Every structure is written in structure tokens, then in C-alpha cells.
Chains A and B, each alone.
Chain A
Amino acid sequence: MLRIECPCCGPRDHDEFRYGGDASVARPAHDDPDPEAWYRYVYVRNNPAGSHREFWQHVTGCRQWLVVERDTTNHTILSVGFARKRPGKCPYE
């Protein structure tokens, strides 16, 4: 089991979270006409064996989207932060 240190709610079992995939993928600009950019955004993944930045949403807690940095070979969690740079007021504060 993963234990994710939610910056809002504290350490929680990962069952409380929903996985949201690779956080290093950048969405192209809304009006980007290049199909290659959209192909890469939707499909191409680095999929590293090692440190991986990924989205998790704390669905049964504060419902914040987090960016978790995790080693995919042994599940060590290296860092956790809010996905938004300036998170809204934490509902539990």
C-alpha cells in the first residue's frame, strides 16, 4: 500500500485517492493546430523505471489534486505537493 502525505489532510492510505496519470505531460495550447502535439499529449508517455511525477486526487478527503513524486520500482514517495501552485483554502483548516 502507498501512504500519501496529503499536504492538507496528513498521511492517508492511497485507497482514499484516485490516480490521475503522468503529471509531466503538458497540454498543448487550446488553439494549437498541430496534430503531432495533440498525439503526444494524449498518447506518448515517458513511463520511467524510477522517479515519476504523477497526479493523485484525494477524492475521499479534501478533494485536492496533488502532484506526487514516486519511485516506480519500489514505491518510495519522494515528494507531495498541490497540483495548483496556489491552492485554495484547505477545507479542513
Chain B
Amino acid sequence: MSRYSALSIFRNGLSGQKNWQRAWRAAEPKPAYDVVIVGGGGHGLATAFYLAENHGIRNVAVLEKGYVGGGNVGRNTTVIRSNYLLDGNTQFYEFSVKLWEGLSQALNFNVMFSQRGQIVTAHSADQLDTFSHRANIMRLNGIDADILDRDAVRRLVPYLDFSETARFPIYGAILQGRAGTARHDAVAWGYARAADGHGVDIIQNCEVTGFVRDGDRIVGVETSKGRIGAGKVGLAVAGHTSVLGQKAGLELPIESHVLQAFVTEPLKPLVDHVVAYGADHFYVSQSDKGGLVFGGNLDGYNSYAQRGNLGVVREVAEAAIALMPCISRVRLLRHWGGVMDMTPDASPIICPTPIDGLYLNGGWCYGGFKATPASGWCFAHTLATGKPHPLIAAYGLGRFRTGHTLDEAGAGPSAWLQ
């Protein structure tokens, strides 16, 4: 793999841009690998990269049933942050942000990580108190956090509704300055290219249809391209974890729900930060092309359809205009749905499973994108050593039996209520 650099751009310019290497090889499956990762999304590709980079395990295949970047890694709203409250979440997501900060260099691929800061508005004195609690927890964990009063919020984001008639007046906000966004496709492509550079086979259009067993142990997968042997199998198939888990005999606390995302027509620069609405479920950032990118609640019933319903379009539009009346006449360019693994406590499941040889990375609810580097890092550690990485110790399947759930959303065991 040749490295991208200013010199390579110059050299390829001289030869009419005709001699660029493809970003990763179009690999065909070998009979067997040390590790087979099912799912060529962000988490699967990151896992493969860190298996090679951190653990020297290079005889690895990533199997993707569609194409790289066609699943949730290409369907999210690209927000990256670590403003979590609970032990176990706080440290994990901050580790992820730290990996994001060096990711373009680590991958030799510009993932366009932009630390524009995230502002979550507070709409009552009580809410600002809970945000202060959160900010204190974050600071105790070495994470940047600031509490802003109404005037400070107004100076930063004057286009929000500060009028007398605002439905939920803004009292203040919590700001994480190091939060931001990244180019989601570049994350998939960057990890794919870097993993390929270490010899990982990325096999697209290869759907896993079953598992190969030797006694109780899983020793490979059946795929649309034939049987592939594996020393260990890692599942990273957000949205379809239940479908594949059932084939392996795993019973999981997961429901699949659709979450929609939205993009408006391009505007001149307006939204400098990621802004989240504390009075409803709505958040917005502006892409480099100028479109406002935003999202809201789940559709809220089990679905594998990758398309959403119009009721949620209306609800999200209502929240958008309540927070930002100035965009009431902006046209919506497109919206789409992604299938989320929803867990009962809104935290992921990433751990060895009770089935020998099978490892699970799933249940990211709608927060998987920001976790991509740390998830790959910790899952690679788990696959390489057979034991959970300390940063994901809280994300085991056993927590639902022992009562050690991480219910950040406070929504209880009904996944659709999150």
C-alpha cells in the first residue's frame, strides 16, 4: 500500500490521476483465517485494523454482506462526543474521542474529524443542575466540560429561539468543546484501507448464512461464498445481531428498531457546533457541503426495513423548528433509516459469549459511530486475548442477570422507549 501524502498527490497529478492504487484489494476468501469478523462496517473494520496493528494478528478476514460503507457507518449523523455520566461509559467514550483525535494520522486517511464542540441546551434550572452534575463527573474523569448560562449560549448560538414566545426557554447549556463530527464514509474507507495494508482480507458481497461447529465450539462460518474456517469469529453486525445470534444459538436482550436521519438543502455556514435540544430529542450539525444534518427519536417498533415512517419526520421537524425557528422554510433534501440494535439499558454489548469461539460486538443503540475506534480497539483486544478489555468490562452480557445495567437513558428495559 502506498502512503497518501502531498508528494503522492503531486506525483499522481503529473500522470493524469490514472495511477492511483485502489484503496483496498478485492479479496476472495481463503479456506481459513485466525479470526473472521462478520460485518464490514466501522466496528468490524476497526477491529480488523487493531487486531493487526496492536496484536500482530494479520490472518484476518472481514466479511461484508453488502459493500463497505453501505450499512450503519454510512447512515449515521456523524456526531462524536464523550459527555457521559455513568462509570464504564465515561471512560470508554473518552478513550474513543482520544483515538479520534489521532485517527487521520493513524490511518493515513483524512477522516475529517472536526472538533467543533457540542452544546446541549438546558430548559429549566433543574435540568441545568443535572448538566452541572454531569459536567463535574466528566471533569473528574479528565474530560472537558463547561456549563454556560443563557447569555453565554446566546453569544455562541444566537440563531436558537431566545424569544419571549419560545415553547421551552433556554436556561443554559452544557458544552463539550472537544466533541464534533467526522466524515463517516472516510472512517469506513480509512479503516478498510489501513487493515488491508496489514494484510487483512476485506471480502464484500459475502453474506454469512450459518456457523460451522466442532462439538460446542464454533470453528468457521458458512457464507454465500462457501465455508470459511476460523480460529475465532467476531460478530459486528449492528442491526442484525439478533438474526446472526440466533443462527449461533445466542439469546440476546436486543430489539432492532429504525432510526431516521435527515439532511436539508445546502445553506451558507450557520451551525458552527453540534447542537442538541434538551427539551426534546433533536440534534443538528452542518456538513461541509452546507446541509443541516439532524436526527431525533426512533420510529419505536421492531423493524429491519431500513426505512422510516412519516410520523417521525413530522416530530423531528417540529422539534427542529421549536429550537431553530430560522430554518422553518428550509427544505428537507432527503432522509433515510438505519437499523439499530436496541438494548434494554441503552448501552452496548461487547464481550466473549457463552459459545466457545464466538465473540460479540453489538447493541450500540444509536450511539455506535462515536464509539468506532474504541470499540475496534477493545474488541480486537478481546478477540486476541479471549478476555474483555478493561474499558469494556461493564459491557458484558451478564450485566442483565446481575442487575449491573448501565441505563444512561434512564428508560428501563423497554428498548423502544429510548
Contact = CB atoms under 8 A, between A and B. Distances in A.
Contact of B310 (A1, A35, A70): A1
B305 A45 contact: no
Contact of A72 (B305, B310, B400): B305
Contact of B302 (A36, A40, A52, A74): A52
Contact of B243 (A2, A36, A49): A49
Interface string A22-37: 1000000000000110
Interface string B299-329: 0111111000111000000000000000000
A87 interface: no
Given A1-B310, A19-B300, A72-B302, A47 B413 contact: no
Give the one of B300, B302, B400 with max A CB within 10 A: B302
Interface in A12-63: 13-15, 19, 21-22, 35-36, 39-40, 42-49, 52, 54
Contacts of A44: 251-253
A75 B300 contact: no
A72 B256 contact: yes
Contact of A45 (B242, B243, B310, B311): B242
Contacts of B130: none
Contacts of A40: 251
Contact of A39 (B242, B256, B311, B401): B401
Where chain A touches its partner, the secondary structure class is mixed
Given A39-B400, A43-B413, A75-B303, A1 B309 contact: yes
A72 B342 CA distance: 15
A14 B416 CA distance: 15
Contacts of A22: 255, 302
A15 B240 CA distance: 26
Contacts of B12: none
A13 B312 CA distance: 13
Interface residues of B, number: 25
Interface in B217-259: 240, 242-243, 246, 251-256
B291 interface: no
Given A1-B311, A2-B309, A45 B253 contact: yes
Interface residues of A, number: 27
Contacts of A49: 240, 242-243, 256, 304
B185 to A, nearest CB: 26
Contacts of A48: 242
A70 B69 CA distance: 29
B344 A47 contact: no
A84 B312 CA distance: 30
Nearest to B311: A15
B124 interface: no
A35 B400 CA distance: 11
Contacts of B242: 45-49
Contacts of B400: 39, 42-43
Contacts of A72: 256, 302-305
Interface of A: 1-2, 13-15, 19, 21-22, 35-36, 39-40, 42-49, 52, 54, 70, 72-75
10 contacts: A13-B311, A21-B255, A43-B413, A46-B246, A47-B242, A48-B242, A49-B242, A72-B256, A72-B302, A73-B304
Given A2-B309, A21-B255, A72-B304, 14 more contacts: A1-B309, A1-B310, A19-B301, A19-B416, A39-B400, A44-B253, A45-B253, A45-B254, A45-B255, A47-B243, A47-B254, A47-B255, A47-B256, A72-B302
